[in-house]
């Protein structure tokens, strides 16, 4: 019974953390004057969409797809990163 309680509490805390991080716009697309989706590097170059890998699918799966992460690559420094954005017309 105790074990069940701990697992339930763990899941609740995990979901709350996911919601808080989403509210804080953690890993969300960054917008600047130069582009709509900028690289975190100091050049602030636009990111271009690339194919998701298995880890990205796994992360979307364990975050209940509330973020729908997509994979991007910087057009300048070629750094790869994961970003999400609010869906069009979404209320969140
Ligand atoms: Zn960059």
For residue 79, how far is its CA from the centre of ligand 1 (angstroms)?
A: 6
Q: Could you tell me the pLDDT band of residue 89, with boundaries at 50, 70 and 90?
A: low
- Ligand 1 centroid vs 41 CA: distance in angstroms? 5
Compute the distance from residue 76 Cα to the ligand 1 centre, in Å: 5
**Cβ neighbour number for residue 39 with a 10 Å cutoff:** 24
Ligand 1 centroid from CA 35, angstroms: 12
Q: Are 71 and 64 in contact (CB under 8 A)?
A: no
In sequence order, the 6+-apart residues with CB closer than 8 A to the CB of 38 are 29, 30, 31, 32, 44, 45, 46, 47
Give the model confidence (pLDDT) of 3-60 as tens digits.
999 999 999 999 999 999 999 999 999 988 878 899 988 888 999 999 999 999 999 9
Residue 80 β-bridge partners: 73
**Residues 28 and 85: beta-carbon distance below 8 Å:** yes
CA of 90 to the centre of ligand 1 (A): 28
Q: Which residues surround ligand 1, an ion (CB under 5 A)?
A: 39, 41, 45, 74, 76-77, 79
> What pLDDT sits at residue 54?
97
Give pLDDT, residue 82. 96
pLDDT of residue 86: 87
Q: Structure pTM?
A: 0.83
Place of tokens 């509210």: 23
């Amino acid at each position: 019974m105790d074990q069940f309680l701990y697992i339930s509490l763990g899941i609740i805390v995990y979901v709350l953390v996911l919601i808080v991080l989403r509210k804080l716009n953690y890993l969300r697309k960054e917008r600047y004057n130069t582009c709509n989706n900028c690289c975190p590097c100091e050049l602030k170059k636009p990111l271009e969409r690339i194919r998701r890998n298995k880890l990205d699918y796994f992360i979307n799966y364990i975050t209940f797809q509330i973020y729908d992460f997509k994979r991007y690559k910087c057009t300048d420094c070629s750094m790869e990163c994961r970003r999400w954005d609010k869906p069009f017309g979404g209320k969140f």
